[in-house]
C-alpha cells in the first residue's frame, strides 16, 4: 500500500481530528511559557470593580455609564486589554476615558 493510500485511509477514520486536537492542546501547554492572567485567575491577581449607572430620558434613550476600577494584586501579571460584551447593536456616542482623559 502506498503512503498516500495510508494517509487517505487514516483521514477517513476521522480519528485524526481527536489526535490533532490532543497534539494541539499538548503543544499549547508545553510551548506557552508564562501566560497572562485569564478571567478565572482574576480574583487572585486583580481586584476588578464595576459601577454602572443608567439614566433613561422620556423618549426611551438611555445613558449608560460604567466605571471600572482595576487594581493589580501581583507584580508578576498585568492586563494588556480589558473589554465588555454588549448585546445591543444600537449604540451611539461611545466614549472611553481614563482618569478623565479620552482614550481613542
Tell whether 7 and 25 lie within a shared domain: yes
**Domain range for 82:** 39-103
More confident residue, 38 or 62: 62
Tell whether 46 and 93 lie within a shared domain: yes
Query: For residue range 64-77, what is the model confidence (pLDDT) as tens digits?
Result: 888 888 888 888 88
Tell whether 50 and 91 lie within a shared domain: yes
Estimate the crossing angle of helix 15-31 against helix 3-12, to 10 degrees: 90
**C-alpha cell of 74?**
501581583
**C-alpha cell of 75?**
507584580
Tell whether 24 and 47 lie within a shared domain: no
Strand (E) positions, 1-104?
46-56, 62-72, 96-98, 101-103
In terms of pTM, does the model score above 0.85?
no
Domain count, the chain: 2
Mean predicted lDDT score pLDDT of the chain: 74
Tell whether 82 and 49 lie within a shared domain: yes
Q: What is residue 90's predicted lDDT score, i.e. its pLDDT?
A: 81
Amino acid at each position: 500500500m502506498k503512503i498516500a493510500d495510508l494517509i487517505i485511509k487514516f483521514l477517513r477514520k476521522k480519528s485524526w481530528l481527536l489526535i490533532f486536537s490532543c497534539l494541539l492542546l499538548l503543544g499549547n501547554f508545553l510551548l506557552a511559557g508564562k501566560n497572562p492572567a485569564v478571567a478565572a485567575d482574576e480574583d487572585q491577581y486583580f481586584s476588578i470593580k464595576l459601577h454602572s449607572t443608567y439614566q433613561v430620558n422620556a423618549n426611551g434613550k438611555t445613558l449608560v455609564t460604567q466605571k471600572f476600577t482595576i487594581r493589580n494584586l501581583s507584580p508578576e501579571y498585568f492586563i494588556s486589554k480589558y473589554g465588555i460584551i454588549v448585546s445591543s447593536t444600537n449604540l451611539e456616542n461611545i466614549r472611553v476615558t481614563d482618569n478623565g482623559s479620552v482614550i481613542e
